Amino acid sequence: MNLMTEQEKQVRFNIFLEEHTGIIQKLCRGYSDSLEDFEDNVQEVGYQLWKSIDRFEGKSKSGTWVYRLTLNVCLYNLSKRKKRVDHPTDRILIRKIADKQHDYFKDDSPVQVLYESIALLKPTDRAIIMLYLEKKEHAVIAEVVGLSVSNVGVKVNRIKKKLKEIVDERLARNVG
């Protein structure tokens, strides 16, 4: 393995961030319950990307590699958050602050309804549907989540059906 100079590493890091900022933001949002969680996820992805970028060998597409790294960070942080004890009012307060500061967390947004609905899915199903929404091919999704291509196709259809049920139920509650 060739060791990069600091300058080469910085250039590669900047390119990866520029090319994949959208997917990093979307995936981190999909695994965040608050602005604080979102910022923690993004920061940790940046740190892990910096630590490991010189080990990227190009065996997969850079987008697939960044997606997998981001997914791993988000899943790890999600498991840590499940272990911590939050007071219910903390989440409400954080949500109010986040709503004012970031479009990803606006309650009246259709995007927010979608993200909140996706958050109700199992972590692997979240990853699959978010990749699908990014218009990734089933082969890429299979590579990222470690499933067969045919299994991804089946799961995508089931997840879309489940997600539609969740969204329809949420919208019906808001109307009624």
pLDDT at 139: 92
Fold of 1-102: Rna Polymerase Sigma Factor; Chain: A (1.10.1740)
For the stretch 91-132, pLDDT in tens is 555 555 444 445 555 555 677 778 888 888 998 899 999 899
Looking at domain 107-176, its CATH architecture is Orthogonal Bundle (1.10)
pLDDT, residue 69, reads: 94
Banded pLDDT at 47 (limits 50, 70, 90):
very high
Summarize the confidence of residues 64-82 as an average pLDDT: 89
Residue 24 CA, chain-centre distance (Å), reads 7
CB within 8 Å of 155: residues ≥ 6 apart = 125, 128, 147
Domain ranges in the chain?
A: 1-102, 107-176
Of the candidates 20, 28, 13, the one whose C-alpha atom is nearest the C-alpha of residue 61 is: 20
**What is the pLDDT, as a whole number, of residue 96?**
52
Is residue 115 within 8 Å of residue 104, measured between CB atoms? yes
- Taking the C-alpha atoms of residue 35 and residue 151, their distance in angstroms, rounded to an integer, is 33
The string of pLDDT tens digits covering residues 149-172 is: 999 999 999 999 999 998 888 877
Residues 6+ apart with CB under 8 A from 69: 45, 48, 49, 52
